Amino acid sequence: MTSTAYISDIDLGHVKVSIEYCNKCKWQNRAVWYMQELLMTFDGKINEISLLPNNDKPGTFSVSLKTDKSNKIIYKKRMKKTKDKQDEPWFYDGFPDSKFLKVLIRNELFPGDDLGHLDRYQNFTLNDGATGKVEAAPIEPVECKDCQVEQ
């Protein structure tokens, strides 16, 4: 018998999500909203979410994941007025839809987990109208348990 080990089956230790945002651009409300969405979606799986206001780099917005074993940027808003290439895979135009951010986190940390309605989407619209594409983790379609309870 063979078994597939997902990252979620392995002890990740302390899981931390950091959201760095430009304080001068007044992006605190956006960062707090993402934090709330992530806490509700990954209840009990994420140990810490840090909001990091940045006054030194105008336009900064990024999301990174840290476990006992790794530290990785998963989302960074591309800046228009910079000479840097910004061609790493974590650079995107605009702000992520919360669905997009949840799928990025799930695919990185908990690829075997079901995100319910979100697993139907592979193309996401970013908040400025740009699009992003995320490869969905292999999950069998399942009826949403929350919807069944409400009916």
pLDDT value at residue 123: 57
Residue 90 scores a pLDDT above 60: yes
Mean pLDDT value of segment 139-147: 43
For 96, which DSSP code? P
Domain boundaries, the chain: 11-150
Residue 128 scores a pLDDT above 60: no
Residue 148 scores a pLDDT above 80: no
CA-to-CA dists, residue 37 to 4, 6, 60, 98, 106, angstroms:
29, 23, 20, 7, 13
Q: What is the pLDDT of residues 97-120, one digit of tens each?
A: 888 899 999 988 988 888 877 666
Strand order through the sheet with 71-77: 48-54, 16-22, 61-66, 71-77, 91-92
State the chain's mean pLDDT as an integer: 76
pLDDT value at residue 3: 41
Assign residue 58 a region: left if phi > 0, alpha if psi is -120 to 50, beta otherwise?
A: beta
Q: Are 99 and 106 in contact (CB under 8 A)?
A: no
Q: Are 25 and 59 in contact (CB under 8 A)?
A: yes
Query: What percent of the chain shows pLDDT beyond 90?
Result: 34
Task: Provide the 3-class DSSP secondary structure of residue 100.
Answer: helix
Looking at domain 11-150, its CATH architecture is: 3-Layer(aba) Sandwich (3.40)
Q: How confident is the model at residue 59 (pLDDT cuts 50, 70, 90)?
A: confident
pLDDT value at residue 58: 85
Q: Are 116 and 84 in contact (CB under 8 A)?
A: no
Q: What pTM value is reported for the model?
A: 0.71
Comparing 60-64, 76-80, 98-102, 123-127, which segment has the lowest mean pLDDT?
123-127
* Burial of 92 from C-beta contacts in 10 A (0-12 / 13-18 / 19+): buried
Q: How confident is the model at residue 94 (pLDDT cuts 50, 70, 90)?
A: confident
What is the number of residues in the chain?
Answer: 151
